Structure 1
Amino acid sequence: MYLNQNGRIIKEEKAIISPNNRSFRYGDGCFETMKVIDNSILLADYHFERLFASLQLLQFDVPKYLTADYLQHQILEVAKKNYHNKLARVRLTVYRGNGGLYDPENHFPNYLIQTWDLNPANNLLNENGLVVDVFRDAIKVCDTYSHVKSNNYLCYVMAALWAKKHHLNDAILLNPYNRIADATIANIFIITNGIVKTPSVSEGCVSGVMRRYLLTKMRAENIPVEETKIAVEELLQASEIFLTNGIYGIRWVKQICNNNYTNTASSMLYKQFIKPILQHK
């Protein structure tokens, strides 16, 4: 397997990360998880808009050459090298480099690009609904940086370990107000009284690319949708629940605790908004 480290395509075993690396030490940086279909990045504009907004917020000094077009070329180049250009998952990690907590050597955005082959089932709506539950041992904060897809992922890591231990497909994280934030690798939507609801970004969720895409499309089609506060009780009483991210698109949830859910609207949303962009590519 090959990866791209700061514009150089090298074998994985040749990659070197300094012990003084700030991402390794402090989680200093952010990342994008993208989907490549037929040598094209799905929702590329949304991904790069989010990335560069995050880099600005995190006070990186972005050189002029480091543009969306440049990074897109770098991504597709290594995907092709790995024979992953038909259907693949891509991780683009950006990190500040070396230095102590108060004395970074510079604010240059180093980057690392990795690719993995994807199963074609990732383009389909899940046949079997997910079984998830609420993880209460970690809190997703609500602050200026909580929407960033940060390299510091500890709360999600622990939630994922808990979910695996309890034979769950995913875990839902709460914010400091005991309301829904998001899941370990996805945003969460509920449907109640015919209204599609998702936690607002101010509630601590990551500002997901597929979340943004679906909100835009649903509003354009006059589907009732709200970005709002969602209590655990409202989640449990919903008629449908589904998760979204850039790799799976939509995955419907069949069970939380002892509550069961259907997938009528989730299936409709997949057919109307997700399936067309996969076919288009």
Structure 2
Amino acid sequence: MINFNGTIVPQDTNVLTQNRAFLYGDAVFETVKIVNSKILFLEDHYFRLMSSMRVVRMEIPMNFTMEYFEEQLLSLVNDNAFAESSRARITVFRNDGGYYLPQTNEISFLIHVVGIDNTLYSIAEKEYEVDLFKDFYVTKQLLSSIKTTNRILNITASIFANENGFDNCLLLNDSKNVVEAIQGNIFMLMGNKLITPPVSEGCLNGVMRKQILEIAKKITSLEVVEEVISPFDLQKADELFVTNVIKGIQPITKYRKKSFDVVMSKVLLEKLNEIVRVI
């Protein structure tokens, strides 16, 4: 028997009592965008998930191929009639048993999906204000670069942003450098130089981050680099924007007293949509 919200109930009525993702955050996940029954950037998502599982020493089943990964996601999307445009999340967790030391490295997975409105990426014409989040810091380590279910820092930062009327917050690492936003990677344009922090700084190894780097490097007028961004650099930037695979590109229009252009954000967004149209 267990106590659930003040009521004594049989333990087997609550599947979370042994679930390691719930008890210990012993899980990794991928969130993908699906357009017209095609997973955008499928290979990048699959290989990042496999890499994440290896990092935390999960046992990858022999049948967990990219084709299997794709089939499982699309079957649920089609069953829910969300094939035109949707976001799906697959969470992979270590099977029940043990405390900090698991009894097995075998895994199970859970997929859920919701429909979204737009097939192509777009930018809303409205102010988007951010500030720094200084209560907790991202550590410069490999675990910070993968998507585990331990996102308590991001959750706390989201609450801080909401309480203070910001649309997002920028996260700092333990060297007090800017590494990412709450739900995406950060890019900064200074003149003709486009900068994003290297993964070694502790930022997520984002799928959309990779796409934007590849697109930007084809623009001959741009110098594209992975460099440390300090909080002082933000005030000197011409543009700031956040990237993730669901939103695409989200321009930041205001940071403290500084306002930013969105010109390069729109250029990159159009080139990103050109890729989406042919996937």
- With normalisation by structure 2, the TM-score equals 0.91
State which drifts further: 79-88 or 15-24. 15-24
CA contact (8 A) 1:23 1:96 kept: yes
Q: Provide the C-alpha distance between the structure 1 equivalents of 2:68 and 2:176, rounded to a whole number of angstroms.
A: 42
Deviation at 1:105, TM superposition (A): 2.5
CA contact (8 A) 1:18 1:98 kept: no
CA contact (8 A) 1:122 1:247 kept: no
Q: Provide the C-alpha distance between the structure 2 equivalents of 1:219 and 1:280, rounded to a whole number of angstroms.
A: 20
Counterpart residue number, 2:177: 179
Aligned residue for 1:132, secondary structure, equals: strand
Aligned residue for 2:274, secondary structure, equals: helix
Counterpart residue number, 1:111: 109
Deviation at 1:122, TM superposition (A): 6.6
| 2:238 is the counterpart of 1:239 | yes
| 2:31 is the counterpart of 1:28 | no
Counterpart residue number, 2:4: none
Map Cα deviations across residues 115-156 of structure 1 (whole Å, 9 max, x no partner). Answer: 011122872122224211111111111112110111100100
Map Cα deviations across residues 181-239 of structure 1 (whole Å, 9 max, x no partner). Answer: 11111100000121000011011111000001111222244431111111000022201
CA contact (8 A) 1:129 1:251 kept: no
Aligned residue for 1:174, secondary structure, equals: strand
Q: Provide the C-alpha distance between the structure 1 equivalents of 2:164 and 2:120, rounded to a whole number of angstroms.
A: 24
Counterpart residue number, 2:15: 17
Counterpart residue number, 1:126: 124
| Structure 2: runs of 5+ lacking an equivalent | 1-12
Deviation at 1:170, TM superposition (A): 1.0
Q: Provide the C-alpha distance between the structure 2 equivalents of 1:16 and 1:130, rounded to a whole number of angstroms.
A: 41
Give the length in aligned residue pairs: 266
Aligned residue for 2:71, secondary structure, equals: helix
CA-based RMSD:
1.6
Aligned residue for 2:217, secondary structure, equals: helix
Q: Provide the C-alpha distance between the structure 2 equivalents of 1:121 and 1:68, rounded to a whole number of angstroms.
A: 23
Deviation at 1:165, TM superposition (A): 1.3
Aligned residue for 1:116, secondary structure, equals: strand
Counterpart residue number, 1:218: 216
Counterpart residue number, 2:274: 276
Q: Provide the C-alpha distance between the structure 1 equivalents of 2:204 and 2:57, rounded to a whole number of angstroms.
A: 19
What is the identity, as a one-letter code, of the residue corresponding to 1:29?
Answer: A
Counterpart residue number, 1:63: 61
CA contact (8 A) 1:122 1:248 kept: no
Aligned residue for 2:176, secondary structure, equals: coil
Counterpart residue number, 1:265: 264
Aligned residue for 1:135, secondary structure, equals: strand
CA contact (8 A) 2:215 2:268 kept: no
Counterpart residue number, 2:8: none
Q: Provide the C-alpha distance between the structure 1 equivalents of 2:19 and 2:31, rounded to a whole number of angstroms.
A: 21
Deviation at 1:243, TM superposition (A): 0.5
Q: Provide the C-alpha distance between the structure 2 equivalents of 1:119 and 1:110, rounded to a whole number of angstroms.
A: 30
Map Cα deviations across residues 65-99 of structure 1 (whole Å, 9 max, x no partner). Answer: 01111011000000111111110011111111223
What is the identity, as a one-letter code, of the residue corresponding to 1:225?
Answer: V
CA contact (8 A) 1:132 1:172 kept: yes
Map Cα deviations across residues 145-182 of structure 1 (whole Å, 9 max, x no partner). Answer: 11011110010000011111122211111000110111
- With normalisation by structure 1, the TM-score equals 0.90
Aligned residue for 1:25, secondary structure, equals: helix
Q: Provide the C-alpha distance between the structure 2 equivalents of 1:51 and 1:162, rounded to a whole number of angstroms.
A: 29
